[in-house]
Each structure stands twice: as C-alpha cells, then as structure tokens.
Amino acid sequence: MLNYIDRIKEISARLLKDCSVEMVIGFRKGSVPMMNEPYFAKTAEDVERLVWDSNCGINLANYLTDRKEKIGIIAKGCDSRNIVTHIIENKIKREQLVIIGVPCKGMIDKHKISSMFDGEIREVSEDENNIVVRGHDFKEVLNKKDVLQQNCALCIHRNPVIHDELVADPVEEQQDVDRYADVREVEALAPAEKWNYFGDLLSACVRCYACRNACPLCYCPTCFVDESQPQWVGKSQDPIDVRTFHFLRAFHCAGRCTDCGACERACPVGINMRVFTKKLEKDCLELFEWEAGMSLDERPPLDTYKPGDPGDFIK
C-alpha cells in the first residue's frame, strides 16, 4: 500500500498535464502525528506534495459538493460510494470527475492509539504491516490490524465501486464480517437502559458539528439545527437537544451512510456516534436489502416507493 503514492502522483500529474482535470484532490503531509491534510494539487510541483498512507481516513468526497470544476479525486472504497451518492443526489456531475480509485485495507485509529499511551506521541511511522509509535521516552511497535478504525476493521467494500483509474490491483474483500454486533447489543437493552446509554455516549458533546461537517452527506445550506423560523433544536448542551441533533442527523443519513468513519474521526471529544448510523444501515439492509452508494443506477429506498416495501409498522 505504501507504494501506491507513486502511482497516485503519476496519474495526477498526467491528468493535470493533459487538462482532463483542473485540480486533483488528495492529501498532503500533516503537521502532527497520524494526520494528513486534504489538499488540492494544480501544478506538477503541487503533485509532488501528495501523500498516501494509513492516515488518510478523511472522506475526500466531502470536498466535491457543488463544485463546478473538473476534478480528479482520490477515492478509497467508502469514498467512492459517497461519490456515487453525490452523483445520484446531484451534488456533482459524473462528467466532472476523474476518480482515482485506491483499494484500501484500512486506516489507523488515531484516537485509539493515543489512548494507549500516557505520554505525548511524537512520531508515528509505518511499514506494510506495522505501526511504530514513538514518544519522548517510549517506542512501541503495533500491528496495524489491531489499531484500525472500527469501520475499517468491519469493512466489506474495500475496493472502489466506481473509478476511472485504479492505482493498484483490487484487494481481497473481507468475508464473514459481523458488522452489527455492537448494534445488536444496544438493541437488546431495555428502553430505560438504552436512554441512559445514549445519554452517557453523548454526554461529552460540545455541539461543534465536526461530525456533521466532516460527513459528505451533510450538505444542507441551512442545517435543521440552524433553522430559526421555527427553531427545531436548542443550541445549548441540554441533553435533549444534544440527543435530538445526533438522532436526527443519523436519520437524515439513513440509507445514504457508507460508514466511512469520518464523523468519529473528526470528533474532538471521542464520541462513537457511528452506533446510530450503523443501526439505520442495518435497518435498511434488513428492510430494503439496501447498501448505500453501490450503483449509479439505483435510487435509495427513502427516495422511492416499491409496492413490496415493508409495511408491517402500519398498525
């Protein structure tokens, strides 16, 4: 995976040179461990700054919304599914894009790794299978597989579902993955326990909206939390308002979420809000046999009506 970057640079340089695209959206090296910064390259010099490693968890499809240029976009499996959703929802046109597909075996979880060490992490480097974490007075080697983001560990669409270029051969998809073990645990709780579970989960929320803004699906010009006539949700940290924001946002992503993990990655206080979106993903799968963003030719279930749609909730 670590040599993907040579192909990415080669493809990007070529696309810019022959003017198939006006910019290539990718990553440049971050200034702190385990982070890379989304970046647009417009010249050959810019292309040299592109990087690709296990710290590329941010969903770059987020940067496509309503853009007018011809864009080359570097996309992992989950990113590519969000690009499909963007195209279906008219947020970008297929003709504008040259999708540089990158097969992906998972990104590392910086929150998880940070919490494993007491002192400050000064440097993180990697080879094909391992991560080396260095601090002021410690050095440890971790197996990448043990520190992947949870969504990556459970990923069943590691290869891009849509691409114009592919930087490497497809990787093997994971089989027999139980994606919803944690969702079922919460489903099994009694209502009062569930209520408390949600309260604890969301207690640290500071309403920064990093989760919402990192999500490619959240592109409403005025989010429901910002409406004033009428005002649906308060702006404080009142526990009911916080729950309302998270629950409703999850519902707005129902049938569209690809579990890219950008929300959890962005959260500054470490809230695992993917449990809500995964619950709705599970429901869509069970009720409508639906997985988001797999094909340009199918509309999402909340967008369409089919006579056979489940109706047993109508009493």
- The residues binding another protein (CB under 8 A) are 30-32, 35-40, 58, 62-63, 111, 114-115, 118-120, 122, 136, 204, 206-210, 212-214, 221-222, 226, 228-229, 231, 234-238, 265-270
Element containing residue 284 per DSSP (H, E): helix 274-288
Nearest CB to another protein, comparing residues 61 and 162: 61
Chain-centroid distance, C-alpha 112: 17
Between the CA of residue 193 and those of 182, 187, 273, 275, what are the distances in Å? 15, 10, 17, 15
Q: Say which amino acid occupies 284.
A: C
Nearest CB to another protein, comparing residues 92 and 161: 92
CA 277 – CA 241 distance, rounded (Å): 18
Nearest CB to another protein, comparing residues 122 and 179: 122
Nearest CB to another protein, comparing residues 96 and 213: 213
Handedness of CA 282, 286, 291, 296 (dihedral sign): negative
Q: How far is the CB of 211 from another protein (least distance, A)?
A: 8
Q: How far is the CB of 237 from another protein (least distance, A)?
A: 6
CA 273 – CA 64 distance, rounded (Å): 24
CA 51 – CA 6 distance, rounded (Å): 9
Q: How far is the CB of 303 from another protein (least distance, A)?
A: 26
Q: Treating both helix axes as pointing N-terminal to C-terminal, what angle do 239-252 and 274-288 enclose, rounded to 10 degrees? A: 40
Chain-centroid distance, C-alpha 139: 30
Task: Report whether the peptide linkage leading into residue 33 is cis, meaning its omega lies within 30 degrees of zero.
Answer: no
Q: How far is the CB of 139 from another protein (least distance, A)?
A: 15
Q: How far is the CB of 281 from another protein (least distance, A)?
A: 22
Q: How far is the CB of 159 from another protein (least distance, A)?
A: 25
101, β-bridge pairs:
75, 166
CB 57 within 8 A of CB 77: no
Q: How far is the CB of 63 from another protein (least distance, A)?
A: 7
Q: How far apart are the first and last CA of the chain?
A: 53
